[in-house]
Structure 1
Amino acid sequence: MDTLYFELPLIEWVGYMASTLVLVSLSLSSIVKLRIFNLIGAAIFSFYGFYIDALPVGIMNLIICLFNMYYLRTLLFKKEVFEGICIDKPDKYLRLFLNYHKDDVQRFFPEFKIEQAESSKILMAVRDMNVAGVMLLSDNKNGTAEVILDYVTPQYRDYKTGKYLLRRFKQQLLNEGVNSLYYSELNPLHSKYFQRMGYRLEGESYVLNLNNRAD
């Protein structure tokens, strides 16, 4: 640890790395990711503190690690209550929800306009009695519906909400003759999400075949 890198001992770089991870964790909107980054940063900080004989630093960060592990276990393994709601016309609450999250929605769906909800099928995911996500679909056209919006609030952005919506309404969509969904904006910020949901890139669109989707 006494080896110098850019005129600083390696152990000091370890301290800087721990500080950076803790700082990054505080900038994350996802509670799960925040806890994971904070856990790693605190673990490295604890090692750093014990290594340089700074016991208060080592002990405090060790305790922070234990807190993070406890809350991560709660977040990852707690039983959550999901409910799905399907409505044909937007109500006042949905408009308030979309307006409240307007800036975040625009990051992922820059072309989206709230007025589009008026002519869309609306699927909502309620998670622990909080509206966690909204999916808007176009009318069925030859067995295909376009995903106009598939938005999940930051605190629930762990893929569970999106997967629940697809699982909950898959059979209903199939019964209505919708065999596939597609999304064509190809926003880099949202591409990972669609891939995790099971969509496949076909030409200039992400396409999900509901008949082939395993629940």
Structure 2
Amino acid sequence: MDWIGYLASTFLAISLIVSNSFKFRIFSSLGCLTFIVYGFLVNAFPVMLANGILLVINVYQLWKLTRIEEQFLFVPILPENRIVQKFLNYYSNDIKNYFPDFVFDKVVQKQISYVVLRDIAIANMFVAVVKDNGDAIMKVNYTVPQYRDYKVTKFIIEREANTLKSHGIKKLVYESVFNPSHLQFLKVVGFTKELIEGKECWIKSI
């Protein structure tokens, strides 16, 4: 029976580690729910009551999060933009975890560069080189930790599809994926593995 208490504590510990508000509420709710079960099994009514109240608060906050209408903007950028450079400097270590070879210091031919603003805050940086066949070779598609809830990617792929197509893009192509969590993310949002010129890539049609 003790393992239930340990499981509940684990959920709550994870909730304190994650940076995304939605994930925080999910793990916190799981922890509270598990503690309620534990309290019931050991006849600890105060534990059940306290976690029941916290569970109601978490569910209410989750409901509020799902009803928030955020504003997204897809804004073109240049390497010399000072705000973009500050963004890159601030998140440089985390960016290297996902895109270790990325450098943004000059304009490359047929390169497109955007940031996604989420309620005016920079949430994502999107840089790709567009080939003549319509493949957009991804150089970086980095979302800051607190906004990794799939909304940014959904916005780019769905609502900004015409913008991408205006650049001649037919497919988004990752020639390499360095981070296991990033690979899992790509699978969730619909990227599939294909061989391109003998190289294993992850692609998604626009």
Q: Give the letter aligned to residue 134 of structure 2.
A: G
Whose radius of gyration is greater, 1 or 2? Answer: 1
1:136 aligns with one of 112, 120, 127: 127
For the pair 1:205 / 2:201, whether they are aligned, the reply is yes
Note the C-alpha offset of 1:161.
Answer: 0.5
Match of 1:146 among 127, 137, 140: 137
Runs of 4+ with deviation above 6 angstroms: none
Amino acid at match of 2:45: L
Q: Percent of aligned pairs with the same residue?
A: 32
1:189 partner amino acid: S
**Does 1:105 pair with 2:95?**
yes
Does 2:162 align with 1:171? yes
Report the CA distance between 1:52 and its aligned residue: 2.6
Provide the C-alpha distance between the structure 2 equivalents of 1:89 and 1:186, rounded to a whole number of angstroms: 23
Q: Secondary structure at the match of 2:160?
A: helix
Query: Can you give the 5+ residue segments of structure 1 that lack an aligned partner in the other structure?
Result: 1-9, 211-215
Distance in 1 (CA, whole Å) between partners of 2:148 and 2:168 is 29
- Within 5 Å, give how 1:59-74 maps onto structure 2: 59-74=49-64
Asked if the contact 2:79–2:85 (Cα under 8 Å) also holds between the matched residues in 1, the reply is: no
Q: TM-score, normalising length from structure 1?
A: 0.84
For the residues of structure 2 that align with 1:121 and 1:89, how far apart are their CA atoms? 11
Count of residues in correspondence between the two structures: 199
Shift of 1:200: 1.6
Query: Is contact 1:90-1:118 (8 Å) kept?
Result: no
Q: CA deviation at 1:209?
A: 1.8
